[in-house]
Amino acid sequence: MKPIFLIALALSFFIGSPQLQAQDMPLSQVLIDGEDWEVFAEGFDFTDGLSTDAEGNLYFSDVKSGTAVYKGDLDGKVTEFIKDAAGISGLQWGADGKLYACVSRARIVVSFDQDGKMTQLADEVRPNDLVVTHDGNVYFTMTPTSEIRRIDPAGKMSVVSTGDVSKPNGITLSPDQGTLAVSDHGGKYVWAFRIKK
């Protein structure tokens, strides 16, 4: 009974809040009529961590065998954006112009500046995916340990949820940045948490 109540409570934050808007829309509203899906990049084993910059370039990783963060530009050309970056499973651009990443193999969370210089934000973690708020908080999931953690702008890390979500996986924010949504790997639910301001 408790999981049903928690899901109902979590959904009420999305449904009951008039200032929230759905982030997804039907594909028919964004796809060109008569156009088929096209392969954008190939030759990878396990692509992950999709993120776009303000210009519309697409960034991604190959978790299984890749050694870089790849950039696909608007002309469809794919290049290595950041070399020596193996095992990345989550990527997102921050408002500060840095690219944030979960490096699952190395058990760290990092950021990259525009020149590709890496700064380590957390170590001895098992990060899977992350999201960055406009004010610089980094929330990330740790699927194996059932945790959601936060790194504040000063670099302090804290556990914000443990055990509430069985295997926290994907993570995102509502448009107003007040609700954190987390998918449960292998589970039936998407969980929502209000963020204290």
Tell me what pLDDT residue 196 has.
Answer: 82
Task: Read off the pLDDT of residues 14-44 as tens digits, 9 standing for 90 and up.
Answer: 444 333 334 455 767 777 888 888 888 888 9
Return d(Cα 169, Cα 148) in angstroms, integer. 9
Q: Which amino acid is at 135?
A: D
pLDDT of 186 higher than 60: yes
Return d(Cα 19, Cα 31) in angstroms, integer. 27
Domain 2-14+47-194 in CATH 1.25.50.10? The answer is no
Cβ count near 52 (within 10 Å)? 14
Task: Read off the pLDDT of residues 104-147 as tens digits, 9 standing for 90 and up.
Answer: 889 999 999 988 899 999 999 999 999 999 999 999 999 999 99
